[in-house]
Structure formats: C-alpha cells, structure tokens
C-alpha cells in the first residue's frame, strides 16, 4: 500500500522475473524492439529497476544507474500508456529519489518530450544543462534533483 495515496500505486525494486511484464508496458518493447527488451531484462537482473504497480500489475518503471560521473542517473522513466497522467511518474520519481545512494541525482530528456519536462518541473527538479548532438535536431535537457530529497544529501 502507498501511505501517501491509499489504493494508489506502490513502488518496489523489480525482481529479475519482472522483466517480461515490464516489457509488455514499455511502448518500444511492446512494439517489438528487441534491444529494448534485452535492456529491460538486463536492468532487472542487475537490480537497477524500480517499478510502480497496483492490483492490476506494473504501471511503469524507472532505471537508476550510477554511471554518470559516479552520481545517480535516471536513465529511463517509462509509464504505461494507459497509466499516464495518473501520478505514476511522480510516484516513480519519489521512489528513485529514495533509492539513490549518491549526493546528486540527474536525469535527462529530449527538448521534444514536454510531458517529462512538466513532470520534472512539477517535482521540483532544476535544469542543469543542454547537450546537442545525441538526437539530431532534438537536444537533450539535463535536470538535477533537489539534494535534500536524497539520502546522501540528508546525511
């Protein structure tokens, strides 16, 4: 149960066996992207995934890695198309913030991804930079989580 929203989605670390269900709610994997399916499986096996679920099953997931200058980095936040605009993204961000073990937590999104930008803005994340050249014509915006929300930042 989610104490902040009884009956709402709960978040937990994904198990290796959760990957097939997560691939089913991931728009790229569900459309047949074998590389995404392989990544989801690897992320789950490596313990990098936090998933949000309710009684119906998984609603979304986030991938928390520590490969960005040895700081936390949310490399992917995916919400099932049927669960969008229902607080799942916010729940996942909070769960990733709680799980992060470094003093800083970053993420990024394309300039064209307005829903993710809105989510990050509403969650209080600050713009941290802009990178050109990853996706032609669609720069990457980087964001930083408020440090007081991270375990390492509160220590």
Q: In what order do the strands lie in the sheet with 10-13?
A: 10-13, 49-54, 57-68, 71-79, 105-110, 140-144, 126-131
CATH superfamily of 10-154: Gcn5-related N-acetyltransferase (GNAT) (3.40.630.30)
Beta-carbon contacts of residue 114 (< 8 Å; ≥ 6 apart): none
Q: What are phi and psi of 4, to 5 degrees?
A: -75, -25
Average pLDDT value for the chain: 93
Residue 102 φ/ψ region, left for φ over 0, alpha for ψ in the -120 to 50 degree band, beta for the rest: beta
Q: For residue 123, count CB atoms less than 10 angstroms from its CB and return exposed for 0-12, middle for 13-18, buried for 19 or more.
A: middle
Give residue 29's pLDDT. Answer: 96
Q: Where are the domains of the chain?
A: 10-154
Work out the pLDDT band at 8, boundaries 50, 70, 90.
Answer: confident
Token pair listed for 43: 């992320």
Give residue 12's pLDDT. Answer: 97
How far is residue 67's CA from residue 74's CA, in Å, rounded to a whole number? 10
- Percentage of the chain beyond pLDDT 70 is 93
């Amino acid at each position: 149960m989610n104490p902040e929203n009884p009956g709402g989605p709960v978040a937990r670390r994904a198990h290796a066996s959760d990957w097939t269900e997560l691939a089913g709610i991931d728009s790229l994997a569900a459309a047949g992207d074998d590389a995404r399916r392989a990544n989801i499986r690897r992320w789950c096996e490596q313990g990098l995934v936090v998933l949000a679920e309710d009684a119906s099953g998984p609603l979304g997931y986030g991938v928390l890695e520590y490969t960005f200058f040895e700081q936390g980095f949310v490399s992917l936040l995916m919400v099932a198309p049927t669960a969008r605009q229902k607080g799942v993204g916010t729940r996942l961000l909070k769960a990733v913030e709680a799980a992060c073990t470094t003093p800083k937590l970053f993420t990024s999104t394309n300039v064209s991804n307005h829903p993710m930008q809105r989510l990050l803005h509403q969650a209080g994340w600050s713009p941290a930079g802009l990178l050109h050249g990853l996706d032609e014509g669609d720069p990457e915006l980087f964001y930083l989580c408020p440090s007081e929300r991270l375990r390492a930042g509160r220590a």
